[in-house]
Structure 1
Amino acid sequence: MTRSQESGVGSQKVSVALIAVALFLGLAPTPAGWVERFYSNRFYPLVQSLFTSISNRIPFALGDLLALSLVACAGYASFRTRGRPRSLAHLAFGAAALGAAVYTAFLVVWGLNYRREPLTRKLAFDESRVTAQAAEEMLRRTISALNVESVSAHSRPLPGDTAVRAGLRSSFDAAAAEAGNAARTVPGVAKRSIIDGYLGAAGLDGFTNPFGLEIILNSELLPFERPFVMAHEWGHLAGFADESEAGFIGLVTCIRSADPALRYSGWLALYELLPRSHREALPALAPQVAADLRAIDARLRRRYQPALAQAQERVYDRFLKANRVEEGIASYGLAVRLVLGTRMIG
């Protein structure tokens, strides 16, 4: 056997091993208590602290660099195998191995957090509190808070990202600790991505890069939207992979902040989440609050493409279910249950 043949056999063994590891991690039972104790509260905080500390010092989105590198590699491999049937089979096998490597890295760096203990088990959550009456009472309280906080929030220029990070830090640390995190999270610096146009078209406010552990925000977010979205993404960095849980952490973080502008951002986000079936019986929103809600709606409509957003939701729903989030995209609505079923807000 020649040296090149030996090298080829060796690479095939590595590829088979990668695929086997990915299949094992994807299918093997992982007790939530084990994940919570050994991964989410021991291994992951070390990874998060290192990765986010590094990514915070890089002025561009690492996710963009990773995505462009994958596209370039795929294009080069496709060019090399053009018109060669045997090479196409090798390309397919190599693609499967690459996919397995990416999936394994995803789980190891961040994705296993999907399998940790849910907040409903770790907090003093009472399902009997989740009622239509409780939702209406919370909505009334939210409207009252918005009307009060809007005055202070708009009495001075709304804070920029640096001030927002400083203002959120204390309440974020407290919320994450109450939710079961033993270690502090390194907050992420908000970045802009080359797919910023896609975020607007798909109706997305931001996302967390699970490989670089950095946060990306839609550049068109209004100043009073950014604090909540930033806190939400910090929730993901803290290991709360589930959307409802990250959103809940974001709400608690903002609403408990000492800064009225940050509290206002949290109450606005909660207002948008709560059901409003009997609007005629509700207190009136202050003119400034109503104007801000109209501005958010106009911002969303400016680039929103319904067909793209629906396709993105279907893909994300499958992704969530593949990562053992049985509710799929419906898990977003669970944030309201957490608000009503615990006493962390109220």
Structure 2
Amino acid sequence: MVLICIVFDIQKYVKCSNFRVLIAIFEAMVHKIKNGVALSLIPQIILVKWLGNHPDLIERYYSEGIYPYIAGFFRILYGWIPFSVGDILYFILAVLALRYGFKHRFEIKAYPLRFVRNLVFVLSIAYFTFNLLWGLNYYRLPIAQKFALEEKNSAAELLELTKALIAKTNALQFGITKDTALAVEIPYTKKEIFEKTLLGYEQLEKSYPFLSYKHRSIKKSLFSTALSYMGYGGYLNPFTHEGQVNARLPNFRFPVVAGHEIGHQLGYSAENETNFIGYLATMYNPDPYFQYAAHAYALTYCLSDIRRNDEAEFMRLYATIHSGTQHNFKEMALFWEAFDNPLEPVFESIFNIFLKANNQTQGIQSYNAVVSLLISFHQEHPL
């Protein structure tokens, strides 16, 4: 009996020892994998930057090759869900990150290098996924080539376009309100604006097939209040391919922002290019409210460029705009003023760094670069 007990004890010890050995081997493998993935971040960055010097390859094999299938798959997967899956995903990840930091705070303090390794490990995976699913579009050929446009922005050309936009915006404003002093109130819900945005893309596709948009996945952000305080009108989630629009935006600006985010879904990453696409999709819409929103939007960028160089000329031009449209402009200004806060410049700075790191050398100022595209386009297609 004693011998049997001893045998069982030995077997138990052996099994326990084997289990511990297996655990040790597994942990060693995990550490090696984490080290390898973390170190892979460096060659990934080098590869992406090398590809960035070959936009023709990006355009042919990624942006017009595998990307449309990737984007289409995710828009089909998540587009039917009425709320933002990506927003929920970001929220869960933020909670898990905070939980990890609190739970492992002593371990992090004791082994800081291990924590840095784990952090780089996560960043490496995120960087790979970001570029595979969407980010390489930052390095594609300029959209001006698709439209066969030679970007221009001389003072005379800018002034000519601005006057044309003022005339068009004034005509649309009066056509809608029958009173030059009344602001335009777009009478649609946000959901209806999303639906009508698709009509604009259907019309745009007839002239520019490469801007065909299928499988809608455009939604109101669950974090619209936070986006307002951050100064953002919307964003594309590159991991779920959902276009997120700030639901608190006034309807006056909402159609163009919706069109802008769809432009990102179509694989155009540069902000000036998606501003241009958003403008076109809204301008081509048969609805006069959308056309008004589009031309007023383009007008703000042109006026901003003029004001930067000639305040007196800006004031002279602004005085020729119907007071109703001026009220719409003030509506937008008051909206952003209501969310003004000390942290907004921080968020803008972070986004500025992000854009510059992704081949947009002008950073946030790249939004204003849409003016060159507008000038060139309307020289070919006068208002």
Q: Does 1:229 align with 2:257?
A: yes
Deviation at 1:60, TM superposition (A): 2.8
Say if 1:240 and 1:246, in contact at 8 Å, map to a contact too: yes
SS at match of 2:117: helix
Rg larger in 1 or in 2?
2
Q: In the alignment, is the contact (CA less than 8 A) between 1:152 and 1:261 conserved in 2?
A: no
After TM superposition, the structure 1 stretch with the greater mean CA deviation from structure 2, 85-94 or 310-319, is: 85-94
Residue 55 in structure 1 maps to residue 90 in structure 2: no
CA gap of 1:330–1:36, structure 2 versus 1, over 3 A, is same
**1:68 partner amino acid:** F
> Offset of 1:245 from its aligned partner?
0.5
- 1:80 is displaced (CA, Å) by 4.1
Deviations 1:59-84 (A, max 9, x none): 33223322222223323433443333
Kindly tell me: are residues 183 and 59 of structure 1, through their superposed partners in 2, closer, same or farther at Cα, counting changes over 3 Å? Answer: closer
| 1:88 Cα deviation from its structure 2 partner | 4.3
Q: Is the Cα–Cα contact under 8 Å of residues 197 and 258 in structure 2 kept in the other structure? A: no
- d(CA) in 2 for partners of 1:14, 1:262: 52
What CA distance in whole angstroms lies between the structure 2 residues aligned with 1:126 and 1:244? Answer: 15
Distance in 2 between residues matched to 1:234 and 1:70, nearest whole Å: 25
Aligned to 1:102: 126
In structure 2, stretches of 5+ residues that fail to align are 1-19, 179-184
Per the alignment, residue 159 of structure 1 pairs with: 188
1:314 maps to: 349
Aligned counterparts of 2:352 and 2:69: Cα–Cα separation in 1? 29
Structure 2 match to 1:298: 334
- Cα distance in structure 2, aligned partners of 1:253 and 1:10: 52
Identity among equivalent pairs (%): 22
Alpha carbons 1:248, 1:338 under 8 Å: kept: yes
Residue 267 of structure 2 aligns to which amino acid in structure 1? G
Residue 161 of structure 1, CA deviation = 3.4
Please say if 1:239 is aligned against 2:239. no
**TM-score under structure 2 length normalisation:** 0.81
The equivalent position to 1:137 in structure 2, one of 160, 165, 173, is 160
1:3 to 22, 28, 33: 22
Question: Quick check: 1:159–1:261 contact (8 Å CA) kept in 2?
Answer: no
Task: Give 1:121's match in structure 2, choosing from 127, 141, 145.
Answer: 145
Question: Residue 338 of structure 1 aligns to which amino acid in structure 2?
Answer: L
Indicate the residue corresponding to 1:18 in structure 2.
Answer: 37
Alignment check: 8 A CA contact 2:75 2:240 kept = yes
TM superposition shift of 1:182 = 7.5
Q: Deviations over 1:216-239 (max 9, x none)?
A: 222221112110010011111111
- The count of residues paired between Structure 1 and Structure 2 equals 343
TM-score by length of 1: 0.89
Larger displacement relative to structure 2 (332-341 or 58-67):
58-67
**RMSD value, Cα:** 2.5
> What is the aligned partner in structure 2 of residue 187 from structure 1?
216
Cα distance in 2 for residues equivalent to 1:273 and 1:279: 12
Q: Whole-Å Cα distance in 2 between the matches of residues 329 and 44 of structure 1?
A: 25
**Aligned-pair distance for 1:178?**
6.6
Shift of 1:151: 3.5
Name the CA distance, whole Å, in 1 between partners of 2:206 and 2:138: 18
- Higher helix content, 1 or 2: 2
**Are the aligned partners of 1:45 and 1:185 in contact in 2 as well (CA < 8 Å)?**
no
